[in-house]
């Protein structure tokens, strides 16, 4: 008998993140919006980084084997979260890798096409309509701008995680992948330099 709560921890973690995002947005960011031009970008970056870290963990459970992170996350996003492969590629590179390693988003340059990718990141649909979220603007042939609204990203992840969890609860291979990965994720091996 498979536990009907399998994967529920992913949603619980997302609920906590969403509550924190809402609290910060409505209590700190929104009240100061018209009087303070700062708008807390580092806090926003941290929340986006948390979203992509959650995507990383869930996609690792889904895959069940130690495949390179970027292709695994792309495949999960393509299947469960968002249909635009180019936007997914840019989002993962920009918000999971570049942000994590440099502390802020940076422009990306596709070495194959010469296209430069930039970003437009907002807290919510109050600044960026849902219809523009996870869409690429094309200001010129050699530039794309990825639009992203944090609150919509959380909704997208919730929809994607729930779709995965529904399959997880019925598909044996996904269950095997989940259990194989769970112990590896919960206890991270490392070595000190002694």
pLDDT, tens digit (0-9, with 9 covering 90-100), for 67-118: 888 999 999 999 999 989 999 999 999 999 988 898 889 999 999 999 999 9
Given pLDDT bands bounded at 50, 70 and 90, which one contains residue 3?
A: low
Domain total of the chain: 1
For residues 160 and 132, give the distance between their C-alpha atoms in angstroms, rounded to a whole number. Answer: 19
- What the block records as the tokens of 181 is 């990965």
> What integer best gives the mean pLDDT of the chain?
92
Cβ atoms within 10 Å, residue 141: 9
Q: Which domain covers residue 148, as residue numbers?
A: 8-182
CA 130 to chain centre: 16
For residues 117 and 106, give the distance between their C-alpha atoms in angstroms, rounded to a whole number. Answer: 9
For residues 108 and 53, give the distance between their C-alpha atoms in angstroms, rounded to a whole number. Answer: 20
Is 66 contained in some domain? yes
H or E stretch covering 13: helix 8-24
Confidence at residue 176, expressed as pLDDT on a 0 to 100 scale: 93
Specify the 3-state DSSP secondary structure of 14.
Answer: helix
Specify the 3-state DSSP secondary structure of 135.
Answer: coil
pTM: 0.92
Is 14 contained in some domain? yes
Alpha-carbon separation of residue 92 from 21, 49, 61, 167, 194 (angstroms): 20, 10, 17, 23, 35
Is 187 contained in some domain? no
Is 141 contained in some domain? yes
Examine the pLDDT at 186 and tell me if it is beyond 60. Answer: yes
Report the DSSP pairing between strands 143-149 and 116-122: parallel
Is 85 contained in some domain? yes
User: The sheet that has 116-122: what strands, in order across it?
Assistant: 108-109, 116-122, 143-149, 136-140
Is 2 contained in some domain? no
Confidence at residue 1, expressed as pLDDT on a 0 to 100 scale: 45
Is 67 contained in some domain? yes
Residue position matching structure tokens 């469960």 = 80
pLDDT tens digits for range 159-177: 999 999 999 999 999 999 9
pLDDT tens digits for range 8-44: 999 999 999 999 999 999 999 999 888 887 789 999 9
User: In 3D, which of 98, 118, 96 has the Cα closest to residue 48?
Assistant: 96
Is 98 contained in some domain? yes
| DSSP at 139 | E
């Amino acid at each position: 008998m498979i536990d009907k709560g399998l994967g529920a921890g992913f949603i619980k973690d997302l609920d906590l993140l969403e509550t924190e995002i809402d609290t910060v947005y409505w209590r700190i960011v929104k009240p100061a919006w018209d009087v303070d031009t700062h708008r807390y970008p580092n806090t926003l970056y941290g929340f986006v980084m948390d979203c992509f870290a959650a995507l990383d963990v869930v996609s690792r459970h889904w895959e069940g084997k130690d495949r390179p992170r970027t292709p695994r996350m792309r495949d999960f996003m393509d299947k469960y979260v968002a249909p635009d492969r180019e936007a997914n590629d840019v989002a993962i590179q920009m918000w999971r890798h570049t942000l994590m390693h440099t502390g802020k988003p940076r422009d990306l340059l596709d070495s194959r096409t010469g296209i430069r990718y930039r970003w437009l990141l907002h807290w919510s649909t109050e600044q960026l309509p849902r219809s523009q979220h996870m869409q690429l603007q094309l200001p010129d042939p050699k530039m794309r701008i990825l639009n992203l609204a944090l609150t919509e990203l959380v909704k997208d992840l919730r929809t994607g995680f729930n779709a995965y969890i529904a399959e997880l609860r019925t598909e044996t291979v996904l269950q095997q992948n989940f259990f194989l990965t769970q112990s590896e994720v919960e206890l991270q091996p490392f070595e000190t330099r002694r």
